[in-house]
Amino acid sequence: MDINNPKAVIGANSWGSAAYGKLLRGSSVDDETLKQTIAAAKERDLLIFDLAQDYGLGKAQKMIGEFGTEGIFLSSKFTPTKKYTPGQVRRSLERDLTEFRREYVDIYWLHLPMDIEENLAETVELYREGKIHNIGISNFTLEECRTAKSVLDRAGVPLYGVQNHYSLINREWEKKGVVQWCKENGVSFWAWAVLEEGMLTDPRVKTKGSVMKLIFSGKKKKLRPLYAAMNRVGKRHDLTIPQVAEAFVANKGIVPICGCRKPYQAEQLYDAVNVRLTAKEMSFLETVADKVNVKILGADMFRFAVKK
């Protein structure tokens, strides 16, 4: 797999803590199931795993380090929570590497647009030391993307990617020019929350309740016309409703990050991103999505955490 052209990324947000898994997804999975999921992903050349220190209440990164990271790419993040102080990126990365049991991370993201120049300058130092192989940014506006790229350009370091929220029902970063800017500048665009916390899954399939599903359950009635449209498109390609959501993103030239805790989820993700939807089908899905006009997660939902 070419790290510069992945078809999809395995998200590990709900790996680790059993309580966290039940809270977010309604159930937890054991270590053996996660190992089988990693194996299923590797068999299908889905080799990038996206993590962060707080995933799984702090357990996800430690778990993947314990399982072993041979033959996979690791993506992790520095999330600034206060005004920049020298060494903060280095200290965070050192913790990540300790948890991964590795000497480097394949992709490292500045997770919020705070003190962009200072945080990226320190990230560049670590890049030059070989501890970071690629640098990305996450939850950035178009203007902030330009600022970040300018900082990296001056340092002679490429911007690998932008990781923002994007889904069939939330295409704000496309409308605001970020997706096109990425394509014009050879920058990968990764989409998180592609399934909108489970709201873009088949409502006919019974699953265990979770806090997230409870919070957003009232939206399902409004989404019924979209479920019908997704089911219609899915039948043509032997795809489930969540697979249509994944395929839609992939057919935009965007890299979907999808949480996979069980082998079948990695298998279905692989199948979905390898389906070619027609232009007519893409337009049909967009039209219905716009008509229902339902928002689950805001495109820039973490803006409140950006301290000036």
pLDDT digit string, tens, across residues 8-56: 999 999 898 676 666 666 678 999 999 999 999 999 999 999 999 999 9
- CA dist 254 and 304 (Å) reads 26
CATH of the domain at 143: 3.20.20.100
pLDDT at 25: 66
In this prediction, residue 205 has a pLDDT band, given cuts at 50, 70 and 90, of confident
pLDDT at 20: 65
- CA dist 269 and 246 (Å) reads 7
Q: Answer yes or no: is 213 within a domain.
A: yes
Q: Answer yes or no: is 206 within a domain.
A: yes
Q: Answer yes or no: is 235 within a domain.
A: yes
In this prediction, residue 224 has a pLDDT band, given cuts at 50, 70 and 90, of very high
pLDDT at 77: 98
Give 75-96 pLDDT, tens digit per residue. Answer: 999 999 999 999 999 999 999 9
Per-residue three-class SS string for the chain = CCCCCCCCEEECCCCCCHHHHHHHHCCCCCHHHHHHHHHHHHHCCCCEEECCCCHHHHCHHHHHHHHCCCCCEEEEEECCCCCCCCCHHHHHHHHHHHHHCCCCECEEEECCCCCHHHHHHHHHHHHHCCCECCEEEECCCHHHHHHHHHHHHHHCCCEEEEEEECECCECHHHHCCHHHHHHHCCCEEEEECCCCCCCCCCCCCCCCCCHHHHHHHHHHHHHHHHHHHHHHHHHHHCCCHHHHHHHHHHHCCCEEEEECCCHHHHHHHHHHHCCCCCHHHHHHHHHHHHHHCCCCCCCCCCHHHCCC
Q: Answer yes or no: is 2 within a domain.
A: no
Give 258-298 pLDDT, tens digit per residue. Answer: 999 999 999 999 999 999 999 999 999 999 999 999 998 88
pLDDT at 106: 98
Please state, for a pLDDT cut of 70, what percent of the chain lies above it.
94
- Mean of the pLDDT values across residues 111-131? 98
201-236 burial, b if ≥16 CB within 10 A, otherwise e? bbeeeeeeebebbeebeebeeebeebbebbeebbee
In this prediction, residue 74 has a pLDDT band, given cuts at 50, 70 and 90, of very high
pLDDT at 123: 98
Strands 9-11 and 48-50, bridge-based pairing: parallel
- CA dist 217 and 272 (Å) reads 25
- CA dist 108 and 105 (Å) reads 7
Smallest CA-to-CA distance from 190 within 213, 207, 209, 173 is with: 173
pLDDT higher for 213 or 218? 218
What are the CA-CA distances from residue 250 to residues 41, 257, 281, 299, 300 (Å)?
Answer: 17, 10, 13, 18, 21
Q: Note whether 111 and 303 are within 8 A (CB).
A: no
Please state, for a pLDDT cut of 90, what percent of the chain lies above it.
84
Structural domain tally of the chain?
Answer: 1
Q: Residue 212 pLDDT > 70, yes or no?
A: no
Rg (CA), the chain: 19
Task: Show the domain range for 194.
Answer: 9-305
- Mean of the pLDDT values across residues 49-64? 95
In this prediction, residue 218 has a pLDDT band, given cuts at 50, 70 and 90, of confident
Q: Residue 172 pLDDT > 80, yes or no?
A: yes
- Mean of the pLDDT values across residues 231-240? 98
Q: Answer yes or no: is 72 within a domain.
A: yes
- CA dist 242 and 234 (Å) reads 9
Smallest CA-to-CA distance from 223 within 243, 208, 245 is with: 245
- Mean of the pLDDT values across residues 122-145? 98
Rounded to two decimals, what is the model's pTM? 0.95
Q: Residue 181 pLDDT > 70, yes or no?
A: yes
pLDDT at 21: 65
Q: Answer yes or no: is 67 within a domain.
A: yes
Q: Answer yes or no: is 3 within a domain.
A: no
Q: Answer yes or no: is 1 within a domain.
A: no
Q: Residue 217 pLDDT > 80, yes or no?
A: no
- CA dist 44 and 66 (Å) reads 22
Q: Note whether 107 and 134 are within 8 A (CB).
A: yes
Name residue, tokens 């996800």: 60
